[in-house]
Amino acid sequence: MSRMTGSSDLLSRLFALDGRRALVTGASRGLGQAIALGLAGAGADLVLTARTAAALDETAARVRDLGRTVECLALDQSRVEGIAAALDGAGHLDILVNNAGIEEVCPSDSVTPELWDRIVDTNLRGAFFVTQAAARGMLDRGAGSIINICSLTSFVGVPTAVPYGSSKSGLLGMTRALATEWGPRGVRVNAIAPGYFPTAMTEVFYRNEDWGRAMLGKIPQGRFGRAEDLVGAAIFLASDASAYVTGQCLGIDGGYLAAI
């Protein structure tokens, strides 16, 4: 019994987020919402962002149901000039999850400068300046965990997704560069690369049954991802369980990348 109790205590200490405050961008639905609720379930208090604060009402209510405090901020991170001011009032942050992102399927010979800027400004440029603003306090204190939500397109090419893949490849490069620069200052920077997860942003793909059958044939586990599949990885990377992990990108893809 004492051995079992000791193991339980160790797991609680390693993975508990009690007393920590996490900022999750793009937390109104889908993967961002699931990660926010997972961090709250592990004990973290939350700061949530979306383009409108009202869009966060459901997530915020569920965080409060878990007994955690929550603050909601309106933030369009494609407009980088407003990021620092928006986050000035966020206060103490121990964890950042850069989840906010957009995608628009388009043949590459039809991509316009406006489309390119809209995607890259949100997914990469905006993510960097959110990170810069959120990390200031972490760097001053010498502690913090930053988790960037990358993509399979950080590793492989996907037709009709060149702006998106370029932004997510850049986000992986940003992860590694910041991990190298900020590691000596106590701030860890890692990433998660979700595989094929049906979400509101990607539903256009899943409407095509032929595409769905073909894609499932490439995933060793034989199913698409569910939002809750990301929660354990996010808690791990946010917690002391990953104290010696930085500059890494964890693929959550049912084995897709291993099989190609």
d(CA 165, CA 155): 9
d(CA 114, CA 116): 5
Q: Which of 164, 196, 244, 256 is catalytic?
A: 164
Report which of 26, 19, 1, 8 is spatially closest to residue 147, judged by C-alpha positions: 26
Q: Which residues pair with 249 in a beta bridge?
A: 191
| Residue length of the chain | 260
Q: Answer whether 238's CB lies under 8 Å from 40's CB.
A: no
φ, ψ at 216 (rounded to 5°): -60, -30
Strand 95-98 and strand 249-252: pairing? unpaired
Structure tokens at 118: 């809209």
Q: Taken in order 33, 238, 128, 153, is the CA torsion positive or negative?
A: negative
Question: End-to-end alpha-carbon separation of the chain, Å?
Answer: 45
Q: Answer whether 43's CB lies under 8 Å from 20's CB.
A: yes
Task: Classify residue 255 by its DSSP letter.
Answer: T
244 is catalytic: no
Residues with active-site annotation:
164
